[in-house]
Amino acid sequence: MATDPASDRVRVRRHAERGSYDRQTVDEILDDGFVCHLGFAVDGQPYVIPTLYARVGDVVYLHGSPGSRMLQALTSGSQLCMTVTHVDGIVLAKSVFHHSVNYRSAVVLGKGRRVEGDEKLAALHAVVEHVAPGRWDTARRPNAKELSSTEVVALALDECSAKVRTGGPKDAAADEDIDVPTGVVPVRLVRG
Ligand SMILES: Cc1cc2nc3c(=O)[nH]c(=O)nc-3n(C[C@H](O)[C@H](O)[C@H](O)COP(=O)(O)OP(=O)(O)OC[C@H]3O[C@@H](n4cnc5c(N)ncnc54)[C@H](O)[C@@H]3O)c2cc1C
């Protein structure tokens, strides 16, 4: 289990005790979601764009139109930042200052790699099955035209961090006697 960050830029500094760099923790957070936010800069302007993903082994696959600015940034060799966030609870404290959320989040830094050939089809299979399990074998698969109009990019999990908050409110001792309900309101994302 890796206990040190792969690089200084993924070292969790604020609430370092909530940080983790072991791949099992990062993988579980990634596998629990299918929407990420991708950060990249174009001409000095940062953009953070939501998009789908799937993890396969040591990479995350992303896809989209070759005409999309996001996909162009992904294949341009520029630095990327991908985040995945799960909110597990709203933490209600005695003071508004100590309100918080319980969460699991992952950050991945790196450069994209354009994916082609057999790996491209495998990546699309992974994304479809991750988001809508069972659909690859039931819905029509992509034809040559659709494949050529879809860009697929791999982002390696070489530099990543996880951050996790659990538990109840951390109230100040001076607020102990304030008569207001406290606790954690659980939050879940469910398929209907
Ligand atoms: C749902 C949610 C709500 C949050 N709300 C707030 C809020 O309202 N205000 C606030 O200040 N913070 C909030 N946080 C925490 C926030 O994500 C940052 O961790 C925190 O603000 C410290 O930022 P920083 O740039 O100083 O991090 P630093 O600790 O300096 O970041 C250094 C490195 O640590 C890693 N890292 C930092 N944060 C995370 C993370 N969340 N997950 C995985 N890796 C991480 C990254 O690799 C980053 O490059 C929230 C987090 C979540 C998941």
Q: Is 161 in the pocket of ligand 1 (CB under 6 A)?
A: yes
Q: Is 157 in the pocket of ligand 1 (CB under 6 A)?
A: no
Question: What per-residue confidence (pLDDT) applies to 1?
Answer: 45
The answer on pLDDT for 177 being more than 90 is: yes
Q: Report the distance separating Cα 63 and Cα 154, nearest Å.
A: 9
SS3 assignment, position 27: helix
Each residue's pLDDT tens digit, 58-112: 999 999 999 999 999 999 999 999 999 999 999 999 999 999 999 999 999 999 9
Q: Is 9 in the pocket of ligand 1 (CB under 6 A)?
A: yes
Length of the chain: 192
Q: Tell me which H or E stretch contains 153.
A: strand 151-156
pLDDT band at 3 (very low <50, low <70, confident <90, very high): confident
pLDDT band at 116 (very low <50, low <70, confident <90, very high): very high
Q: What is the pTM of this model?
A: 0.96
Q: Which atom of ligand 1 is nearest to the CA of 105?
A: 42
Contact 105, 29 (CB under 8 A): yes
Contact 109, 80 (CB under 8 A): yes
Contact 40, 73 (CB under 8 A): yes
Each residue's pLDDT tens digit, 117-164: 999 999 999 999 999 999 999 999 999 999 999 999 999 999 999 999
